[in-house]
Structure 1
Amino acid sequence: MLGSDPITGIASVIDGDTIEIHGQRVRFNGIDAPESAQPCEDAKGFRYQCGATAAAALDRFLAASRPVHCEFVSWDQYGRYVGSCARADGTSVESWLVENGYALDWPKYSSSAYSQRPGKCFAEER
């Protein structure tokens, strides 16, 4: 396990709120996204794979400006590195995910940093 230094590199997407860089899992700080295999229902009751949708959108977003840079925040209860991450162009990954409806603010850990974002409750992109 790496120390608490920043991590920079090409990210592999694990799910909508977790990536891996240089073999180290990084959980995004202050947000929560559906797990990769998690289904959701839209307002009309249509079930769709929101977890896979969030992961695919994150992968496209990160590929547009590499590498990803993550600043250490803490270790979670599973021993994962928790970080605040940005693309090479400086765009906050966490903010983008919430603003685009792929994740929700997790006030317990974000101090409501993303609560004012206009995002939807998981995008209905299918």
Structure 2
Amino acid sequence: MNRRTRLAFLLGVGLVLWAVAQSGLAPGVLPNTSTSEARQISSHANLTRVIDADTIVVGSTKVRLDGIAAPEMEHRTYSDGRQFMVVLLREATLVECDLEGRMSHDREVGRCFFVTQDGQRIDPQAEIVKAGLARDCPRYSGGKYNQMETTESKALPLPTYCEER
């Protein structure tokens, strides 16, 4: 195969992969951030990674964990919150998320669960609030995590977008 033929072949393969991903026949091949529909996604925990305390990537979908607010990078507890989520994810074999159809910047908003080998469903949003590393975000949670806040949680900044309107 000469160089021109090889290049044409690779270009053709790339176009086919792109078309399949855009058709929805192979979800997760390419991220599709142009649409945001309420849907459920799941992925093996090994294919999920933690960005920070309130953002994970499930397969190829970036998910903003709904109902909580975790400190940003400049805050002293940022690394602790991220590390807490990494450790919590290590206990799981599967990650399941109910996406709401809303976007927050480049992330789909949803509520996720980390499912362990024995089938236990861990709510990472609740766990990080109980650990004192995130706040309840009442505007979006409806106060769901408010009772779980600790003294440490309540000392964290509450972003204005979390205030009920």
**Residue equivalent to 1:119:** 150
Look up the match of 1:39. 75
Q: Match for 1:5 among 29, 39, 46?
A: 39
The CA RMSD measured in Å over matched residues stands at 1.7
Work out the number of aligned pairs and report it. Answer: 112
In structure 1, C-alpha distance between the alignment counterparts of 2:104 and 2:88, rounded to whole Å: 28
Q: Give TM-score scaled by structure 1 length.
A: 0.80
Q: Does 1:23 align with 2:40?
A: no
Residue 102 of structure 1: how far off its partner (Å)? 1.4
Gaps of 5+ in 1: 41-49
TM-superposed deviation, 1:79? 4.2
| Partner SS, residue 66 of structure 1 | strand
Within-5 A mapping of 1:1-126: 1=32, 3-9=37-43, 10=45, 11-35=48-72, 37-40=73-76, 50-88=77-115, 89-122=120-153
Structure holding more helix per residue: 2
Cα pair distance change 1:80/1:118, threshold 3 Å: closer
Mapped to 2, the partners of 1:25 and 1:39 lie a distance apart of: 22
Identity of aligned residues (%): 27
Instruction: Give per-residue Cα distances to partners, 1:60-118, cap 9 Å, x unaligned.
Output: 01111221111112322414211111111211111111111111000010000011114
Choose between structure 1 and 2 for higher RCO, CA contacts under 8 A separated by at least 6 residues.
1
Tell me the distance in 1 between the aligned counterparts of 2:136 and 2:91: 23
Q: Distance in 1 between the 2:54 and 2:81 partners?
A: 9
| CA distance in structure 2 between the partners assigned to 1:115 and 1:105 by the alignment | 5
Contact in 1 for aligned 2:64/2:104 (Cα 8 Å): no
Whether the 8 Å contact between 1:15 and 1:34 is mirrored in structure 2 is no
Greater than 4 Å deviation, 4+ residue runs: none
Tell me the TM-score normalized by structure 2.
0.62
